[in-house]
Amino acid sequence: MHRAKRWPNAAILRAPARLRWQANSYWGYLYIAAYPSLLVLLAGHALAAMFGPVASMLVLIERQYSAALILGVTTLLNAVLTMLLAHWFGALGAAFASSLSLVASYGALYLLVRDQFKDGPDLKDTTPKLGA
C-alpha cells in the first residue's frame, strides 16, 4: 500500500493555529488579544535569524565597535518607532516597531560582514605543514 508523501514542513504552516490554541488553553481567552502582536514578533525574529550570527562574526574579526554602533543606532530607532507606532496602533504597532528595528539591525550587521569579506576571508594559512 503506497502512502502519499507528506510535505515535511507542513507543521510550520500549522504552527500559528497551534500557538493560538495553546495561548487560549494555557492563559485563557483574555490573552488571545495579544496573538497578532505575538505573530508580528515571531515574524521579525524569524527574518532576523535568516541573517545568521553576524554580530558574533563581527566580534571575531575585531569589528565589535562597529557592531555596537549599529546596535545603538537601531536601539534608538526602536525607541522612536515604538513611541510613534504604539501611539497610533497600540500593542500591534509596538510589536511591528520592535520587529522592524530588529530586522534593520541584523540587516545592517549583515551588510557590514558582507563588505568585510567581499574578496573572501582574509585569514592566514595556519595549517601545519608536514616535515616543516
Region 28-32 average pLDDT = 68
Question: DSSP alpha helices (H): ranges in 28-63?
Answer: 35-49, 54-60
Write the CB contacts of 24 (distance below 8 Å, at least 6 apart in sequence). Answer: 31, 32
Distance CA 38, CA 79 (A): 19
| Residues 41-74: tens digit of each pLDDT | 999 999 999 998 888 888 888 888 999 999 999 9
